[in-house]
């Protein structure tokens, strides 16, 4: 039997990767006998319970991304039912009616980040689906969750930076600290809530816009000030860099692998800093070429000081938030290196299951890698009110042997279908584009892929001049 071309084989691997992880996202689930709620779990074996932060990432980046919306709505319901029943994991906190967390009967890991991650998952699902029944059912809980963030920022009985979330547990180290991981997830959740409230024309939207702006201003100012007092390291060119802190209140360990996996690299996805910010540029350089590489043993324990290897974390590949830096900055080579590394280095090539660490915690579904595949071709994350198409599509997916299909891909504007293939001479890209928007974007931009002889793109039979790396606005 003749083997398909290499480009087609790569597409088949990506297809199977998506299909299998969608299955795992539902297989790793259960029905609670006491409440009747359905819930997906963090994984199998050691994680056959729930850690809400990555579990809701499965909801947003895996199931919602692939269109399994009914499952996501079903799995999120348990958080609404138990809102306000769990005390946040920090000494300054008390029970709050708006706090979202893993129910105590299911808890595997209890971090403050869970609240922000759950709030983001709920609001992102609402933005994607425009499901009015879901929105009406959840809206009171969303407002209460925003109130928790505002009230938590106002707590003063702690020694940390005022106006930022008080210290709380943020990693397996169990130390209560003003971690950027906790802060980033809460900001992500709050801004997703703001986006939904703006769409709804909610009467409180201006209140929460101001809250989000003050949240960001206060945190970023404190982070920059603290960075000025941090130790320095020297890069290969001789330039000195301050280490960017992973906490505003101390208790951090830069030699621990969590400095990569739950540290300042997360701030770009969180929306608190841009990839072009010098603090983020410096942090990326630290993990790509910094002092940890001098002592790193590729055959050693996963808990040694972490580095980026082929653009994924040496400790927890599934926590490689550096991909969002490369995505935002348009660093095509590094983004695709990380995406393919996630598919082949962060997942089994036999079963397609993911491993959390290279120390053997396996049996979980993927999330960032799946989301990265979607962002290559259908991108509603890069900028507000704009849909970008084919911005980071790999050359391997531009095959003359068969068309590449992204069908009914959910976006915050509504589902979009994009089908594309190069012409026989690779001078033109044939694109079939079919949107079904419930909230149309202000612009739809098609990007010219890196085909050396590209001179045009044909969108729904309309020919438009295009060069490699160029853009055209089609709506």
Q: Is 175 a residue whose pLDDT tops 50?
A: yes
Q: Is 226 a residue whose pLDDT tops 80?
A: yes
Domain with CATH 1.50.10.10 in the chain: 21-379
Which DSSP symbol is given to 383? S
Q: Is 1 a residue whose pLDDT tops 60?
A: no
**224 and 216 in contact (C-beta within 8 Å)?**
no
Which DSSP symbol is given to 203? T
pLDDT band at 2 (very low <50, low <70, confident <90, very high): very low
Q: Give a three-class secondary structure readout of 251-296.
A: CCCCCCCHHHHCCHHHHHHHCCCCCCCHHHHHHHHHHHHCCHHHHC
pTM of the predicted protein model? 0.95
pLDDT band at 251 (very low <50, low <70, confident <90, very high): low
Provide CB contacts within 8 A for 439, sequence distance 6+: 130, 199, 412, 413, 414
Q: Using one digit for the tens of pLDDT, what is the confidence trace for 83-134?
A: 999 999 999 999 999 999 998 888 878 899 999 999 999 999 999 999 999 9
| Mean pLDDT value across residues 154-175 | 91
Q: How far is CA 134 from CA 140, 169, 418, in A?
A: 11, 31, 28
Q: Which of 1-15, 83-97, 324-338, 459-473 has the lowest mean pLDDT?
A: 1-15
φ, ψ for residue 454, nearest 5 deg: -65, 130
Pick 392 or 355 by higher pLDDT: 392
**Token pair in block for residue 154:** 């106002």
| Mean pLDDT value across residues 252-274 | 90
Q: Which residue has the tokens 């106006």?
A: 163
Query: Taking the chain, what is the end-to-end CA distance rounded to the nearest angstrom?
Result: 45
Q: Using one digit for the tens of pLDDT, what is the confidence trace for 275-316?
A: 999 999 999 999 999 999 998 998 887 778 899 999 999 988
Q: Give a three-class secondary structure readout of 38-55.
A: EEECCCCHHHCCECHHHH
CATH for 21-379, options being 1.20.1420.30, 1.50.10.10, 1.10.150.120, 3.20.20.140: 1.50.10.10
Q: Considering the chain, what percentage of its residues have pLDDT values greater than 90?
A: 72
Q: Using one digit for the tens of pLDDT, what is the confidence trace for 391-417?
A: 999 998 998 888 999 999 999 999 999
Q: Distance between CA atoms of 217 and 436, rounded to whole angstroms? A: 37
Distance from chain centroid for Cα 282:
21
**253 and 173 in contact (C-beta within 8 Å)?**
yes
| Mean pLDDT value across residues 267-271 | 99
Total Cβ atoms within 10 A of residue 218: 16
At residue 107, the pLDDT reads 81
* Axis-axis angle for helices 205-227, 180-200 (nearest 10): 160
Provide CB contacts within 8 A for 271, sequence distance 6+: 187, 188, 191, 216
pLDDT band at 4 (very low <50, low <70, confident <90, very high): very low
Half-sphere exposure in the Cβ direction for 181 (13 Å, CA): 24
| Mean pLDDT value across residues 226-251 | 93
At residue 359, the pLDDT reads 58
Pick 43 or 87 by higher pLDDT: 87
Provide CB contacts within 8 A for 296, sequence distance 6+: 304, 305, 307, 314
Q: Is 11 a residue whose pLDDT tops 70?
A: no
Please name every residue paired with 232 in a beta bridge, in sequence order, or none if there are none.
Answer: 242
Strand 428-435 relative to strand 456-459: parallel, antiparallel, unpaired? Answer: parallel
Q: What's the chain's length in residues?
A: 475
| Mean pLDDT value across residues 243-251 | 89
Q: Which of 106-110, 133-137, 144-148, 452-456 has the lowest mean pLDDT?
A: 106-110
**232 and 241 in contact (C-beta within 8 Å)?**
yes
Q: Which of 165, 282, 145, 148 is nearest to 218 (CA)?
A: 165
Instruction: Calculate ∠ Cα 249-260-326, nearest 5°.
Output: 120
Pick 431 or 358 by higher pLDDT: 431
Q: Distance between CA atoms of 7 and 448, rounded to whole angstroms? A: 19
Half-sphere exposure in the Cβ direction for 383 (13 Å, CA): 11
Q: Is 426 a residue whose pLDDT tops 70?
A: yes
**372 and 338 in contact (C-beta within 8 Å)?**
yes
Provide CB contacts within 8 A for 320, sequence distance 6+: 308, 311, 312, 313, 338, 341, 342, 346, 368
Q: Is 6 a residue whose pLDDT tops 90?
A: no
Mean pLDDT of the chain: 92
């Amino acid at each position: 039997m003749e083997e398909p071309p290499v480009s087609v084989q790569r597409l088949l691997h990506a297809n199977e990767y998506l299909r299998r992880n969608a299955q795992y996202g539902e297989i790793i689930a259960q029905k609670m006998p006491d409440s009747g709620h359905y819930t997906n779990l963090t994984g199998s074996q050691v994680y056959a319970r729930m850690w809400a932060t990555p579990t809701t990432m499965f909801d947003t980046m895996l199931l919602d991304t692939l269109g399994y919306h009914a499952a996501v709505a079903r799995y999120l319901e348990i958080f609404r039912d138990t809102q306000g029943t769990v005390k946040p994991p920090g000494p300054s906190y008390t029970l709050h009616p708006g706090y979202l967390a893993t129910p105590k009967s299911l808890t595997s890991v209890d971090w403050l980040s869970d609240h922000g991650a759950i709030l983001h998952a709920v609001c992102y699902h609402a933005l994607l689906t425009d499901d009015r029944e879901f929105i009406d059912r959840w809206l009171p809980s969303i407002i209460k969750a925003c109130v928790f963030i505002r009230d938590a920022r106002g707590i003063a009985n702690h020694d940390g930076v005022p106006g930022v979330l008080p210290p709380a547990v943020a990693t397996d180290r169990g130390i209560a600290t003003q971690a950027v991981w906790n802060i980033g997830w809460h900001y992500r959740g709050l801004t997703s809530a703001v986006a939904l409230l703006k769409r709804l024309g909610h009467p409180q939207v201006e209140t929460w816009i101001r809250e989000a702006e003050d949240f960001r201003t206060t945190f970023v100012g404190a982070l920059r000030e603290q960075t000025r007092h941090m130790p320095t390291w020297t890069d290969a060119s001789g330039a000195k860099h301050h280490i960017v802190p992973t906490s505003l209140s101390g208790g951090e360990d830069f030699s621990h692998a969590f400095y990569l996996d739950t540290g300042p690299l997360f701030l770009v996805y969180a929306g608190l800093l841009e990839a072009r910010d010098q603090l983020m540029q410096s942090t990326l350089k630290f993990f790509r070429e910094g002092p940890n590489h001098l002592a790193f043993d590729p055959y050693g324990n996963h808990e040694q000081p972490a580095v980026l290897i082929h653009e994924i974390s040496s400790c927890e590949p599934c926590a490689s938030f550096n991909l969002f830096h490369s995505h935002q900055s348009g660093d095509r080579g590094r983004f695709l290196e990380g995406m393919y590394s996630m598919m082949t280095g962060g997942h089994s090539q036999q079963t397609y299951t993911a491993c959390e660490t290279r120390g053997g915690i396996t049996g979980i579904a993927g999330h960032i890698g799946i989301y990265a595949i979607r962002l290559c071709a259908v991108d509603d994350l890069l900028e507000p009110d704009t849909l970008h198409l084919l911005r980071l599509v790999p050359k391997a997916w531009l095959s003359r042997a068969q068309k590449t299909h992204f069908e009914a891909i959910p976006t915050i504007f509504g589902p979009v279908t994009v089908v594309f293939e190069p012409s026989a001479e690779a001078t033109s890209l044939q694109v079939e584009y079919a949107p079904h928007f419930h909230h149309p974007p202000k612009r739809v931009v098609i990007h010219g892929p890196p085909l050396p002889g590209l001179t045009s793109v044909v969108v729904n039979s309309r020919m438009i001049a295009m060069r490699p790396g160029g853009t055209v606005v089609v709506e």
